[in-house]
Amino acid sequence: MERKDFLKNGVWGLATVLTGVGIAGDNMSENKLNGDDCDLSPRETRGPFPTKTPAQMVQSNIKSDRDGIALLINLTILDKSNKCKPLPGAHVDVWHCDKDGNYSEYGNHPMQRTDLTSAHFLRGRQTTDANGHASFLSIYPGWYHGRAPHIHIEIFDKAGKSVLVTQVAFPENISKDVYSSPLYAAHGEADTPNNRDNVFADSLSEQMATVTGNVRDGFTLTSTIVVNS
């Protein structure tokens, strides 16, 4: 399937359209969904490039004009304070860099000289459904100096109160395949492995997403985030 078709058709549960790819949840997700005991997801910094006006970014297709390999992001939000049940009606914000390691809405910054202050790509907000699900259509993120590839996530309750800011990591073998592909090769491989990343080093197993797919058809990321609402 072409990337444009994948981006047009992908929503929660439709990642099975990928050739040879299923949407198996990560093992941690299955364990959390099958019991009343779950661990809160690690709390992390919003980073240097958070979304400035997230309420204005209500959209599931966050690709905008960015080139890259298609990525379907499937998130499940669970509520530890309610027996680890799915959390409906939560606002989920997602943001990440483009294939060259740049974030929209920022520029002329020590960590990003490229001026993209007027751009608004790879940022979005969705509300979880009755099963605690939220999905985003995006591209596989690039990387920047000192950080392993990652996605930022912030969860808000129905009243708009932030209940968790966290980040999600990518399997290194998949990132290596992506970064050696023609669209990404010019930027090279990430200079920081997951176990040396200052965010993931102490909690990598809790923040590692399940990623399935291939560089031709695109990838599906699944991750479960646990909050106290």
Instruction: Give residue-wise pLDDT tens across range 38-67.
Output: 999 999 999 899 999 999 999 999 999 999
pLDDT above 80 (res 171):
yes
Task: Provide the pairing of β-strand 91-95 with 162-169.
Answer: unpaired
CB 68 within 8 A of CB 184: yes
Average pLDDT along the chain: 88
For residue 27, what are its two tokens? 């093992």
pLDDT above 50 (res 20):
no
- Residue that wins the pLDDT comparison between 110 and 165: 165
**The pLDDT of residue 37:** 82
Quote the domain boundaries for residue 86: 3-227
Instruction: Give residue-wise pLDDT tens across range 72-131.
Output: 999 999 999 999 999 999 999 999 999 999 999 999 888 999 999 999 999 999 999 999
Query: What confidence tier does 33 reach under pLDDT thresholds 50, 70, 90?
Result: low
User: In this structure, which amino acid lies at residue 10?
Assistant: G
Please report, for the domain that includes residue 170, its CATH number.
Answer: 2.60.130.10
Query: What confidence tier does 204 reach under pLDDT thresholds 50, 70, 90?
Result: very high
Query: What CA–CA distance (Å, rounded) separates 155 from 73?
Result: 15
User: In this structure, which amino acid lies at residue 106?
Assistant: Y
User: In this structure, which amino acid lies at residue 70?
Assistant: A
How many domains are there within the chain? 1
Q: Global pTM?
A: 0.87
How many percent of the chain have pLDDT more than 70? 84
